[in-house]
Structure 1
């Protein structure tokens, strides 16, 4: 395996880590600020999804470390590497929150797939295998969110 292949794989893993943290924060933000007739259902759904995403952060970081590299070390480094756009508003309508989370989970899903590809190229069989579970979780999040606005 070449150094460029491994470097690209580590970059994908660290990008996935940054996206997971950003998606966790946004999902938790929406959990705290959702309002309206679906409050209870969305409040609980957002909390469940945030917990699931947060649990991934340690697993992703450990995959980086097991590949002999370092992870992000600060909010600044995470922010610089994420593809998830921040949302600082606390007054979004629930439908707008759901729409953002669907789009952001799709972005995360694309990064999962890119990381699976790089894991295969780098010979990182453990990451290649575990990403299937992470992909399934992400697809389920998208499905659940999409069904609330169907």
Structure 2
């Protein structure tokens, strides 16, 4: 039985896909939520990069900058995947705000150890969302998106590991 390739978007944006309409709808929605979380995580990481202070300033400042760049680079990969499978993607900051699941941090001051812990927790939550979406891709036999998600999971796990290690404090040392 052949899968339907009809689209629900304007003809100008219609991208042929061999995924079913349900797969395109479901996977696109999940990827857009991931994309919103990616932008939220990027913004929080940049916020902490700009506002970190203290004895480990240089190390944390560079770590946050490196991680923010990697996170930002993944946004285009996710959005383009949505388009490749025939969906449409985020259009505004408001759209991001409606879909994001990761919490913003608007505090005037965050202790550097708390920054590390918060980003570590958010990154672990992000990995969980990536895995959930991977499972959805498996259900719809979307190997291309699953493959992208596997790369993103590996990258995010590495970021979580670095944040965890950076936050470790030996007894008697700050």
Task: Give the structure-2-normalised TM-score.
Answer: 0.82
Number of the residue aligned with 1:4: 22
Aligned 8 A contact 2:27 2:136 in 1: yes
SS of 1:6's equivalent in the other structure is helix
Number of the residue aligned with 2:89: 71
Number of the residue aligned with 2:125: 107
For 2:44 and 2:93, locate their aligned partners in 1 and report how far apart those are by CA, in whole Å. 14
Number of the residue aligned with 2:68: 50
Number of the residue aligned with 1:80: 98
Q: Alignment RMSD, CA only? A: 1.2
SS of 2:167's equivalent in the other structure is coil
Structure 2 unaligned regions, length at least 5 = 4-19, 169-174
Q: CA deviation at 1:6?
A: 3.3
Structure 1 unaligned regions, length at least 5 = none
- In the TM superposition, structure 1's runs of 4+ consecutive aligned residues that sit over 4 Å from their partners are none
For 2:144 and 2:22, locate their aligned partners in 1 and report how far apart those are by CA, in whole Å. 19
| Higher relative contact order (CA closer than 8 Å, sequence separation 6+) | 1
Number of the residue aligned with 1:34: 52
Aligned 8 A contact 1:49 1:141 in 2: yes
- Work out which of the two has the higher radius of gyration on C-alpha atoms and give 1 or 2: 2
**May I ask how many residue pairs the two structures share in their alignment?**
150
Aligned 8 A contact 1:98 1:145 in 2: yes
Q: CA deviation at 1:43?
A: 0.1
For 1:43 and 1:105, locate their aligned partners in 2 and report how far apart those are by CA, in whole Å. 17
Number of the residue aligned with 2:167: 149
The C-alpha deviation readout for 1:9-48, integer Å capped at 9, x for no partner, is 1111001100000000000000000000110000000000
Q: CA deviation at 1:61?
A: 0.1
Q: CA deviation at 1:114?
A: 1.2
For 2:81 and 2:23, locate their aligned partners in 1 and report how far apart those are by CA, in whole Å. 16
Task: Give the structure-1-normalised TM-score.
Answer: 0.95
